[in-house]
Structure 1
Amino acid sequence: MLVLLPPSETKAPGGDGPPLDLDHFSTPELNPVRRKLADALVELAADLPAGLRALGLSARQEDEVTRNGTLWSAATLPALERYTGVLYDALDIGGFSKAQLAKAEQRLAVASALFGIARGSDRIPAYRLSGGNTLPSIGSLRALWRPALEPVLATSDELIVDLRSGAYAALARVEHAVTVRVVTRGGRTVSHHNKAYKGKLAAALAKNSREPSTVEGLLGVASRAGIRLVRSGENELDLVIEN
């Protein structure tokens, strides 16, 4: 099973690992695009005004651009420790046992504008790049990623659970993925607490002793975790919360 998580704009600072080494990444076939984007961000960091414009940042966020300039030399953390925010707070990796963490590192992956997908154990530096950004030397990230990322995901024989948000789902279509929508009991789409509920579902899927391989298996894992997950289509699930 592969659970695709959305990334977050906020990242934990620092790290205790060696500098970025793409040769140790999962899905090495994505490395040419990863390397191209990392080099482009480093180059862009040398022109602060251009960097702010391209990344959609304000002058108060200059440090985000400057930090991109150290992508190849900065310390790293496992991807599941690097991303922060509502979803990752709900996921609560820090509360996992050693055995649960080992499962999570294999089952969970972050959909990333820079790395395409980063498995939980892939070590990454802090960076700033969003799915909707357009880089001067590259152009649209969607046009860059789709030809590389879609074949990788399309040929995966794992059950893929797609929890990505819109901008990251646009980087690669996954026709056979199981998608999850967070809704109220009345069927209204939830936006404010969407990420927290997806984080709780991801935690349940990561910790489960057995790895589900079917939609029915997903429903069973959710039910045992106290999460109301119902089928709304062949490969579409609704995570239902109280109004």
Structure 2
Amino acid sequence: MVLVLLPPSETKATGGTGGPLDLGALSFPELNPARAKLADALVELADDVPASVAALGITPRQTDEVARNAELWTSPTMPGLRRYTGVLYDALDVKSFTKATLAKAEKRLAVASALFGVVAATDPIPAYRLSGGNALPSLGTVRSVWKPVLEPVLQGIDGLVVDLRSGPYSALAKLRPDAVTVRVVTEDAKGNRTTVSHFNKAYKGRLAAELVKSRSEPSTVEQLMRVLSKAGLDVERTGDHSIELLTGDGPH
């Protein structure tokens, strides 16, 4: 079994056709006490718009994000993979998945979340605003809430874990030492490699999509490399549990 752990996005799709948030409907039920604590704190904080703006690190023009938090327990939900938007999720292109691919995505993809810890592909969640680096007046840092409870859950996941999380979400919980990390890089004419920022999310989205679509179920780094290479991605192993994904002029 392979599980790709994606970063979330600040932007979220609006609306949804699912009922209100039900923690009992989410995967990883061990996380529900922390989820409830954070959700309640966000709803309470939303009563004070200036305090919310400051705590969430947003601008006064983004008060609609505060309104979303105020309605966390009552607003409609949609599956996690459809809730998150932006460059990575555009490249993942869930809308193009067949029923068979969606079934694989349910097993092979999960999303790191400041509010929910980790979200399975089909977990029904509302729109919200909370980032991994935030701190809430009543609880302290998001990291302090999650690290004690999220780390054992993530380290207990069976199979090959491919870690695509960004820094603030990696800080919420360490994975097992054998989790595979991916660095997106570009190479200049002299062979020097530098971390890519512009295409980083797009390439990670494409990598995740290829792992979902693959008929193979990689369980080792060697098998993972074969699947990605066969899909046309330029990958190189740089350590026992680390690979680099080389970009061209941009995603293709």
TM-score normalized with structure 1 length: 0.98
Give the 3-state SS of the residue equivalent to 2:51 in structure 1: helix
**Does structure 2 retain, via aligned residues, the 8 Å contact 1:229–1:237?**
yes
User: Is 1:90 equivalent to 2:96 in the alignment?
Assistant: no
After TM superposition, the structure 1 = structure 2 runs for residues 165-176 of structure 1, keeping only pairs within 5 Å, are 165-174=166-175, 175-176=177-178
Moved over 6 A (4+): none
CA distance in 1, matches of 2:62, 2:51: 13
CA distance in 1, matches of 2:164, 2:172: 14
User: Is 1:201 equivalent to 2:202 in the alignment?
Assistant: no
1:187 deviates by 1.5
Matching residue within 200, 216, 221 for 1:210: 216
Give 1:196's aligned amino acid: A
Give the 3-state SS of the residue equivalent to 1:10 in structure 2: coil
Deviation by residue 1:188-240 (Cα, 9 ceiling, x = unmatched): 11111100000000000111112211111111110111001110000000001
- Percent identity among equivalent residues? 63
Give the 3-state SS of the residue equivalent to 1:188 in structure 2: strand
**Does structure 2 retain, via aligned residues, the 8 Å contact 1:7–1:112?**
yes
Say what the alpha-carbon RMSD is for the aligned residues: 0.9
Give the 3-state SS of the residue equivalent to 2:12 in structure 1: coil
CA distance in 2, matches of 1:22, 1:176: 30
CA distance in 2, matches of 1:16, 1:221: 35
1:61 deviates by 0.5
Give 1:149's aligned amino acid: L
Give 1:183's aligned amino acid: V
User: Is 1:71 equivalent to 2:72 in the alignment?
Assistant: yes
CA distance in 2, matches of 1:199, 1:210: 18
After TM superposition, the structure 1 = structure 2 runs for residues 1-243 of structure 1, keeping only pairs within 5 Å, are 1-174=2-175, 175-185=177-187, 186-242=192-248
Give the 3-state SS of the residue equivalent to 2:224 in structure 1: helix
CA distance in 2, matches of 1:114, 1:55: 12
1:74 deviates by 0.6
1:89 deviates by 0.3
Give the 3-state SS of the residue equivalent to 1:229 in structure 2: strand
CA distance in 1, matches of 2:135, 2:43: 15
1:71 deviates by 0.5
CA distance in 1, matches of 2:68, 2:155: 34
CA distance in 2, matches of 1:225, 1:74: 39
CA distance in 2, matches of 1:72, 1:106: 27
How many corresponding residue pairs? 243
